Amino acid sequence: MLEPVRATRFVTPLREGGSLPGIVEADDLGTYVAKFRGAGQGLKVLVAEAIVGELARALHVPTPRLVVIDLPAAIARYEADEEVQDLLSASVGRNLGVDFLPGSFGYDGSRPPTPEAAADIIWLDSFTANVDRTWANPNLLVWHGTTWAIDHGAALYFHHSWPRREPDPGRFAALPFEASKHVLADIAGPVGGAHERLAPRVTDALVTTILESVPDDWLEPTPWLPDPGAARQAYAAHLRARLDNSPAWLPGGTT
């Protein structure tokens, strides 16, 4: 899980993404979409991507393999574009890498997933409170005829309040999910069925393993979470509380 690799070359920025991700080559001969630690959205977006991406993989929701990309300072020095150089200089160290899916295209409804696969994605988004999968911003790619879920940086947004407020798993547990604007709402099978399929697979052991794979230095200390272990416990408590409070947050009319 989240194998470490070392960046060997910055290829090009991906200007369509809001966070200025970029294509990077690494020493395992892989090509990755890098989500940079120095981008404006900060480290929490990387944490959400890692946790929800690994949850997706464990639930057999297709999603590209994730790695941790170590970016050496030398790569930033050789970048000619000033905006990109600033971003790379601010991102020396551990970044998130998403396996690049060559030839994939943005989801347009022309090759829809099965009703079950669509319901599974809506369930994952409901569980992790990911509102970032609408027609305006599908964050789904079609690759080899299959729908792949990408970009989970907006999920688990409760953590953005952590610098200011004590973590509150109960609040997250009760948060309803509005699925009517979800890009797959019209074609998905019953989300209640997805809940029965997927919820039992989200065990404490799975969540612990996933959280262990998140690099310590992405887990920023706060007054209530002074070290990475405390932050991991807080994520685990939020996910456990939300599961225990199901089906309260399942999208209405879809069960």
Q: How far is the CB of 139 from Mg ion (least distance, A)?
A: 5
Q: Which CB atom, from 137 or from 245, has the smaller least distance to ligand ADP?
A: 137
Q: Which does 138 bind (CB under 5 to 8 A by kind): Mg ion, ligand ADP, none?
A: none
End-to-end CA distance of the chain: 33
Residue nearest to Mg ion (CB): 151
Contact 69, 5 (CB under 8 A): yes
Q: Is 49 a residue that touches Mg ion (CB under 5 A)? A: no
Q: Which CB atom, from 39 or from 194, has the smaller least distance to ligand ADP?
A: 39
Q: Which CB atom, from 103 or from 200, has the smaller least distance to ligand ADP?
A: 103
**Among residues 49, 120, 125, 151, the one that binds Mg ion under rule CB under 5 A:** 151
Binding window for Mg ion (CB under 5 A); candidates: 45-53, 136-144, 172-180, 189-197: 136-144
Q: Is 91 a residue that touches Mg ion (CB under 5 A)? A: no
Q: Is 125 a residue that touches Mg ion (CB under 5 A)? A: no
Euclidean distance between CA atoms 55 and 3, whole angstroms = 16
Q: Which CB atom, from 17 or from 189, has the smaller least distance to ligand ADP?
A: 17
Q: Which does 120 bind (CB under 5 to 8 A by kind): Mg ion, ligand ADP, none?
A: none
- Binding to Mg ion by CB under 5 A, coded x per residue (else -) over 95-124, reads ------------------------------
Contact 62, 51 (CB under 8 A): no
Q: How far is the CB of 96 from Mg ion (least distance, A)?
A: 13
Q: Which does 213 bind (CB under 5 to 8 A by kind): Mg ion, ligand ADP, none?
A: none
Euclidean distance between CA atoms 201 and 207, whole angstroms = 10
Q: Which CB atom, from 104 or from 245, has the smaller least distance to ligand ADP?
A: 104
Q: How far is the CB of 212 from ligand ADP (least distance, A)?
A: 24
**Binding positions for ligand ADP, rule: CB under 6 A:** 14, 16-19, 21, 33, 64, 98-101, 104, 106, 139, 141, 150-151, 153
**Among residues 130, 139, 147, 254, the one that binds Mg ion under rule CB under 5 A:** 139
Euclidean distance between CA atoms 165 and 218, whole angstroms = 19
Euclidean distance between CA atoms 101 and 10, whole angstroms = 17
Residue numbers at the binding site for Mg ion (CB under 5 A): 139, 151
